[in-house]
Structure formats: structure tokens, C-alpha cells
Amino acid sequence: MTNNNNNNIPVNEMHWPLVDKADKKKPKIRDLPYCQGNRKQRLEQQRKALPIASVEKRLVEEVQKNDTLIIVGETGSGKTTQLPQFLLNGGFCHDGKIIGITQPRRVAAVTVAKRVAEECGVELGQKVGYSIRFEDVTSSSTRIKYMTDGLLLREALLDPFLSRYSVIIVDEAHERTIHTDVLLGLLKNVQNARSRSINKCLNIENTEANYGKLLKRENDANCVSILKRCQGVKFPSLKLIIMSASLDARGFSEYFGGARSVYIQGRQFPVDIFYTHHAEPDYVDAALITIFQIHLEEGPGDILVFLTGQEEIESVERLVQERLRQLPEGSQKLLTVPIFSSLPSEQQMKAFMPAPAGFRKVILATNIAETSVTIPGIKYVIDPGVVKARTYNAHTGIESLDIVKTSKAQALQRSGRAGRERPGKCFRLYPESEFGQLADSTEPEIKRCNLSNVILQLKALGVDDIIGFDFLEKPSRMAIVKSLEQLFLLGAITDDSKLSDPIGHQMARLPLDPVYSKALILASQFNCLEEMLIAVAMLSVESIFYTPREKLEEARTAMKCFSSPEGDHITLINVYRASDEFVEKIKQGNDKEKTEKKLRKWCKENFINSRSLRHARDIHSQIRRHAEQMGLCVASCGDDMLQFRRCLAASFFLNAALKQPEGTYRALASGQSVRIHPSSVLFRTKPECIIFNELVQTNHCYIRNITRIDFLWLPELAPQYYAVQN
């Protein structure tokens, strides 16, 4: 391993001592060791010490003077937690309006809202709250509202002027998620429309007759569409703040007509960067070795490890526990804490609590810890240099989640996490020469994902001309056309590219990917909505089953009790129903907490990931409520699973595949050659014709979540595609 200070540490030659030791009890994170009064004082001191605290007055003035402001500041300088409080104190909510702050990630919205509620000394959900898909913790008294960018887009469907907000802060804009990009375009329109509404209300009486005259004078089609739906209402102007951790504010400023940008000086201690001598064939293993090397050889300080997803984090968690047992007794004081988006929020909070005295904390995180959340206490960062990212092939129309190399900007952000409170160290698990070859920055998501969801929402917002929409960065015409085609095939838009009634409107209302929304709508017609709600909920979470390497056979046997010869969808339904039956059985005589605990034990015995199952159960109850509100018929097909499989074929016909003589499959829509993933229950049986829900690209193109169908169902149930094309 090489270091830019020539201070060599041979990380890849490291061996941890293999000493047999009795199993030690995992330590629990204690509650904070100080009482309420002291905690309050300490929070106050921490707030005052943040770099942003010294510029409170100036920032409030800047927002008063500028309708659009770009704020750039080092991660941890206090932007996300402090600015909304400054604006609240600065009188921006005096008329009962709300300050909204959008985050690309659920975790950030939740943890930051909790922190700010605590800083303000209020109950979460009162003055300070958050709202994310499937979870709304706000009330009529909420003034500071954290939410995901996707959620604000949905709100705009019901309230096109976003009239409840006086200020909207788009946070983490440098991440350039697809929702952030679309939101910026939309907010630009809303801001224009709101200021025009003021002018008009000042100049002429806004009667319906006058409104017609107004429309004629307008030439901005998008603005008109918003105005059309808000006839005769007067709105105050909307303050827009774009916040970003990276230094390039120019793009945002130009997009908003030369908007003013301000910089907040951060506080960053030096970080020593270490590289490996050679490329590491297995980054998970290299990360493990490095964790133990730091633990045994370096001074105090917590470790932050960047991994690619829930499955990987959970497997590293188990491996660390295993290896820990082999260490001598005195050196076992290492505590693993996972943090990823779908982790239940009270478990996410554990990452922010200090480790018990004498313990070192290892935080195993996805790239949410890059900029979205600031975890105190980190001195060491381990960066394998990879991230899970969406990629989209506009030619085939297929989107997949792949593990790709980070950009230079991401690598710098990651190493920066080690120098927040004092000098730190960052271990990059790749050679220095590789760093030079990384892309400078990450390509915006809008350029590498399926656009059908976003297009559906824009259409529902009245934006008909998608190609003409003022995007910060335009997606390729090909990607737009492909997504429009997909929406047309799903029946969401008509052949003149208008949202169809009622299907398109119904689909836009459901907080799901368009194909899943369509599956629910179809299922109500096929009388199997009960089954489809479960399937969609289970498909919305990562890895329901877990198969530890050392217990592979046991896990396979456990899975057999649930598995269906028809495929993974029915298998998932079987798991869900078995968990339901179990909960029903134990509910009597047990309180909620006990029931949860017993369910976790049941999951463990059955090799089911209890976190994922719990998440799926939450999603299920939410989408069921949506379906009921929309008046869909929630019925079960009982034992008639043929009906359910036919509905799967009718819904996911774009993901059908046919077996080839050599045992691989050909995806019918794209012509791509794919293989059944070994985790599928159909891995061995290999039926002739299947539909699938997920594509994973590793050394091969694998498909997951698969069900057997009859080839002839395709022209029968999806004639709009198969009768014409194939």
C-alpha cells in the first residue's frame, strides 16, 4: 500500500491473529450518558461552533434580496440543519407558510428532521417534521419540512403552485438525481408562474374572462399549464435555494438566469490518503482486512466503510462478527453499525450515537454517507472505489443496477469524511494509478435511467412537450422516445401522447414505478389484487432471503418450504402469507414489541431478512390504502394461481424471455441474452417462457424475480406489442 506521504503501510500483506476465543456477547449501544439539560447545552454549543453560524445574518439577508440563491458549502458546515432554522427565525414563515427542504435520500430526510427537532426542542412532527414515500410525520403546525425530492414532485400534482411553501431548499443538488433535475425544472416554472400571478393580480382583476386574455399573451406553455389550473388565485413569490457540497455552482447559476451564489467556508482537517500496491481482486475481503488492520494498529477513532448495498453490508457485518471472535479478548471491542436507505429509521439513528466507552465503531454505509448525512467521530475511511448505480440502455430499453467505479469527485467526498473533526486517514482499496483514470464527476442520473416514471409525472403536471421541457441537462432524445413508447404500450398515454383517462391518471397517482402501477390496476381486473399488492411490496425491497455462506444447505432447505414451482413471485407471496399467519397466531397475549421480537426470531429461523420483510409489510399497507382510495377492487384469486400468473404476463410483458437451445434466455423486447440468477427458484427447472422483474449485470446478465408463463398468453394479453411486432 502506498501513501502520498511515502509512509508505507502494507495493508494487503496484513494478517489478523487467528486465535480461538469463546463467543463474546455483542455489546449494545448505550443511551447517551448525559442528562437532558446537559444534552441541550451541548447541542447549543455544537450549533454555535458550526461554520455557518457566523454568517446567519448575512444568509438571511441574501435570501431576502434574491429570489433564487445558490449556496455551496463543505459537508458538515451546517447547511442542512441550520439554514431552515435561520429562515424560520428570519420571518419566512410569518404567514403560516412552510419552509421545504428536499433530500435525494429518505435516510437524510429522517435523520436530519430528528436532529433539527431536537435542536429546536420540539416534538418531531410538530414544528419540525418530515415526509417521505410511505411515511408522513408532519402536522398543521409544521413549519420546517424535510422530504425527499420525489415526494415534492408528487405534491406538485395536487398543488401545482406549491402554494403552502414560502421557501423551497433543494439540498444535495450536486448529486443530480433524476428527481432533483426534474424538480429544478418544475420549480423554475412554478417560480415564474407565481411571480406572474402576482403581477397579473396587481394589474387586472383576475376574472375568468380576463384569464382567457392572459393566456393569449403568455408564450411559455409550461407556465400556462400551471396557471390554467390555478385560475384567479394570487400567490406570493417563491424563494428558491439550491444547496450543493461541490464547488461548481456555475451550471446551476446559469440555469437560473445568472442566480447569485454564495460560498460557506468549511472546516476540513488534513486527510492522509493510502492506496493499495496492486488492484484488489475482492474488495469486500480487502475492506475486511483493512478494518482489522486499523482496529489493531491505529489509534482511537471510528471507521466508515463505503459499500454498495444492503446485501453487501449485511454480509460484511456477519464476517466482521465472525473474525472478531478469533481475536484475543482485549481487542474485541469493535461495534458494527449499518446504515442504508431502507433501514428502519430508529435503526438508522444508531449510526449517530457514540459507541460505548472503549469501543470502536465501524459504520458500514452505502454512498448515503458521502454527503447526505454527517456522522460524528469518523477518523478512518475505507473506500473500495465502487458504487451501485443505475444504468440504462436506451437501445434495449432495459435498466439495471450495476456496481461501477466512483468518480474522482465521489472519492474526494468520501476521503473528506475522515477529516471532519481532526486529521484522518483514508484507505482507497485500489492503486493510485487507477485514481487518475476515474471520471471527474458522476454523470447525472437523468442521462442513465429509464424516464417513464418522470415523464408520467410531468404529463400529469400538465407538461405535454417533454422534448421541449427546460431540463438542466437534456436526456437523450432516444431515451425520451423509448420511455414514451413504453408508457404508450402500458396504456398510460394515448397515441397523441396525452395522459390516458383513467389509466394514465391512475398510474400517475400511485407512488410506484409505472409498470408496478399498471400491474395493480390490471390485477383489480383479474381479481388478484390481493396477491399483486403483496408481490409488488415484496419486489420493492432488497433481498428477502439471506443465505450465509456457512449455512448454505440449511438456508436452501428453509427456502423450500415457501418455494413454488411456478416461480419467485408466488414464492414471495408464500413467505409474506406465512409471516402474516405467524403474526396472527402470536398476536394474542403479546404486545407489539414482543410480537416484533418473535417475528424477528421466526425470520432468523427461516433465513428471511427481517428488515426487508418489515419494510415490505410497511409498503404493503401503504399501497393497499392507495389502491382502496382509488376504488380498485381488492380481491383474491384464492388457489387459482393461473389467474395471477396471467396477470403477471399481462403486466410485465415487456420483460418476457424465451429459453434458447443452450439453456440461456433471450429477452424478447431487447433481444439480449440473459441467464436465470442462481437465487431464483426456477434456476434448475428452466421453463420455456418466463417474465422477470430485475436485471443484474455482473460478469453475465442475470435476471431475477421470475415466473413461468405460457408463450401464447403474450399475444393474447399484450396484443398491442406481440400481435404487431413478434
The residues that touch ligand CDP, with contacts defined as CB under 6 A, are 50, 73, 75-82, 111-112, 115, 352, 374, 376
Residue closer to ligand CDP by CB (options 109, 691) is: 109
Kindly tell me which of 262 and 558 has the beta carbon lying closer to ligand CDP: 262
301 sits in the region (left: phi over 0; alpha: psi -120 to 50; else beta) called left
What amino acid occupies position 214?
A: L
Indicate the residue among 76 and 129 with the shorter CB distance to ligand CDP. 76
CA triple 177-180-186, angle to 5 deg: 145
Q: Contact, 492 vs 596, CB < 8 A?
A: no
CA distances 482 to 34, 397, 399, 476, 493, Å, are 58, 7, 12, 10, 13
Cell digits of residue 589: 397475549
Considering the complex, state which of residue 352 and residue 602 has its C-beta at the smaller distance from ligand CDP. Answer: 352
* Residue 374 contact, options ligand CDP, Mg ion, none, Cβ 5-8 Å cut-off depending on partner type: ligand CDP
To ligand CDP, the closest distance from the beta carbon of 145 in angstroms equals: 16
DSSP structure class, residue 493: B
Beta strands 386-393 and 239-244 are unpaired
CB of 418 to ligand CDP, least distance (A): 13
CA 561 to chain centre: 32
- Which one of ligand CDP, Mg ion, none is in contact with 50 (Cβ closer than 5 to 8 A by kind)? ligand CDP
634 binds, among ligand CDP, Mg ion, none (CB under 5 to 8 A by kind): none
80 binds Mg ion (CB under 5 A): yes
CB-based contacts of 243, cutoff 8 Å, min separation 6: 70, 71, 72, 73, 79, 80, 83, 169, 170, 171, 172, 173
Among ligand CDP, Mg ion, none, the one that 111 touches (CB under a kind-dependent 5 to 8 A) is ligand CDP
Which range, of 39-47, 79-87, 124-132, 270-278, touches Mg ion by CB under 5 A?
79-87
382 by Cβ neighbours in 10 Å (0-12 / 13-18 / 19+) ranks as buried
> Residue 583, Cα to own-chain centre: how many angstroms?
29
Rounded Cα distance between 526 and 576, Å, is 21
Give the nearest residue (CB) to Mg ion.
80
- β-partners of residue 666 are 658, 673
Report the partner that residue 127 touches, choosing among Mg ion, ligand CDP, none (CB closer than 5 to 8 A by kind).
Answer: none
Least spacing, CB of residue 265 vs ligand CDP, in Å: 12
CB of 234: closest distance to Mg ion in angstroms?
34
In the bound state with ligand CDP, the residue whose beta carbon lies nearer, of 417 and 425, is 417
Stretch that binds Mg ion, among 75-83, 220-228, 422-430, 570-578 (CB under 5 A): 75-83
The region of 61-69, 71-79, 255-263, 594-602 touching Mg ion under the rule CB under 5 A is 71-79
Question: Angle at which helices 106-120 and 36-49 pack, to 10 degrees?
Answer: 110
Minimum Å gap between C-beta 611 and ligand CDP is: 20
Rg for the chain, CA atoms, rounded: 27
Query: Contact 710/544 with Cβ under 8 angstroms?
Result: no
CB of 520 to ligand CDP, least distance (A): 35
Question: How far is it, in rounded angstroms, from Cα 475 to Cα 479?
Answer: 7
Nearest approach in angstroms of CB 75 to ligand CDP is 4
Q: What is the DSSP letter of 382?
A: E
* Shortest distance (Å) from residue 131 CB to Mg ion: 18
- DSSP letter at 539 equals H
Pick from ligand CDP, Mg ion, none: which does 81 bind, CB < 5 to 8 A by kind?
A: ligand CDP
Please write down the long-range contacts of 404-407, taking CB distance under 8 Å and 24 or more positions apart. 405/438, 405/439, 406/367, 406/438, 406/442, 407/438, 407/439, 407/440, 407/441, 407/442
Nearest-approach distance from CB 564 to ligand CDP, in angstroms: 43
Of residues 77 and 415, the one with the C-beta less far from ligand CDP: 77
Considering the complex, state which of residue 103 and residue 276 has its C-beta at the smaller distance from ligand CDP: 103
Cβ proximity to ligand CDP, 77 vs 290, nearer residue: 77
Residue 276's binding partner among ligand CDP, Mg ion, none (Cβ under 5 to 8 angstroms by kind) is none
When CB distances are held under 5 to 8 angstroms depending on the partner's kind, the choice from Mg ion, ligand CDP, none that residue 193 binds is none
Interaction partner, residue 384 (ligand CDP, Mg ion, none; CB < 5-8 Å by kind): none
Tell me the per-residue interface mask from 170 to 209 with Mg ion, x by CB under 5 A, - otherwise: ----------------------------------------
In the three-class reduction of DSSP (H, G, I as helix; E, B as strand; rest coil), residue 577 is classed as helix
Question: Toward ligand CDP, which CB reaches closer, 374 or 655?
Answer: 374
How far apart are alpha carbons 221 and 663 in whole angstroms?
Answer: 52
For ligand CDP, the closer CB: 242 or 289 = 242
Q: What is the nearest approach in angstroms of ligand CDP to the Cβ of residue 228?
A: 37
Q: What are phi and psi of 114, to 5 degrees?
A: -65, -45
| CA atoms of 136 and 306, how far apart (whole Å) | 29
401 within 8 A of 702, measured Cβ to Cβ: no
Kindly state whether residue 68 participates in binding Mg ion, applying the rule CB under 5 A: no
Which option in ligand CDP, Mg ion, none does residue 655 bind, with CB closer than 5 to 8 A by kind? none
Give me the least distance between CB of 285 and ligand CDP, in Å please. 32
610 binds, among Mg ion, ligand CDP, none (CB under 5 to 8 A by kind): none
Q: Residues binding Mg ion: what is the number (CB under 5 A)?
A: 2
Pick one of ligand CDP, Mg ion, none as the site partner of residue 328 (Cβ within 5 to 8 A by kind). Answer: none
Shortest Å distance, C-beta 47 to ligand CDP: 8
Report the alpha-carbon distance of residue 11 to residue 287 in Å, rounded: 10
Which of the listed partners (Mg ion, ligand CDP, none) does 417 bind, with a CB threshold of 5 to 8 Å by partner kind? none
Nearest distance from residue 79's CB to Mg ion, in Å?
A: 5
CA atoms within 13 A on the CB side of 93: 21
Contacts to Mg ion by CB under 5 A: 79-80
